[in-house]
Amino acid sequence: GIQVEQSPPDLILQEGANSTLRCNFSDSVNNLQWFHQNPWGQLINLFYIPSGTKQNGRLSATTVATERYSLLYISSSQSTDSGVYFCAVTQGGSEKLVFGKGTKLTVNP
Amino acid sequence: DAEITQSPRHKITETGRQVTLACHQTWNHNNMFWYRQDLGHGLRLIHYSYGVQDTNKGEVSDGYSVSRSNTEDLPLTLESAASSQTSVYFCASSYYRDRGLYEQYFGPGTRLTVT
């Protein structure tokens, strides 16, 4: 099956710093979602982004499906950004999400 | 507001007992999913359903079953709980976006401990 790899696995930042999280996938996909799992365990939808670029406040994401990767940008990071960021993909006609193992982000004051 | 809920939020049970985790959504979504989350494995699909009376096995379905008698609910049953099933369980449903693609939304999770 498809492999979804996220990097880096861990990231520590000071408040105000910028960061880029990467998601690579081993085969063609038809959909990609980014999630933030906050310290209380809740999974929050960030982006539905099968292709192209989207922005939402300090966060933006770009998916280049032909090159099999997606990037999540976090600018001016805040402590509330801490948690684990997951990307997940679907293939073909399936709606089954395949998740990467996540990037754990810690933002220190 | 429409939402997806799970109950209980925390459960401790003994090995060999039958356990049922509830998932309820008020969005009227046809598609519902159960995942488990474990350290080192991320989230993995257990079972899924594309509508009433439809159920399908996912990647890690052994020891689990689901039934879909209405649109709103997809209960997950552990027939005989094992310590390996200690995990956090997430239910999800998917919303149609465009071009035949769907976006999944997740419930708050159930933390299950099997002793």
- pLDDT tens column, A47-104: 999 999 999 999 999 999 999 999 999 999 999 999 999 999 998 878 889 999 999 9
A91: which chain B residues are within 8 Å (Cβ-Cβ)? none
For residue B71, the model assigns a pLDDT of 96
Spatial CB neighbours of B1, under 8 Å, sequence gap ≥ 6:
none
For residue B1, the model assigns a pLDDT of 61
Q: If contacts are CB pairs under 8 Å, which of residues 17-76 in chain A contact chain B?
A: 30-31, 33, 35, 41-43, 45, 48, 50
Residue numbers in chain B where pLDDT is lower than 50: none
For residue A88, the model assigns a pLDDT of 96
For residue A92, the model assigns a pLDDT of 82
Of A88, A96, A98, nearest to B48 by CB-CB distance is A96
Q: Are B29 and B95 in contact (CB under 8 A)?
A: yes
Query: What is the Cα–Cα distance from B76 to B97, expressed in whole angstroms?
Result: 26
Closest to A3 measured CA to CA, from A89, A96, A104: A89
Cross-chain Cβ contact A99/B33 below 8 Å: no
Cross-chain Cβ contact A45/B103 below 8 Å: yes
For residue B42, the model assigns a pLDDT of 84
DSSP tally for chain B: helices H, then strands E: 0, 11
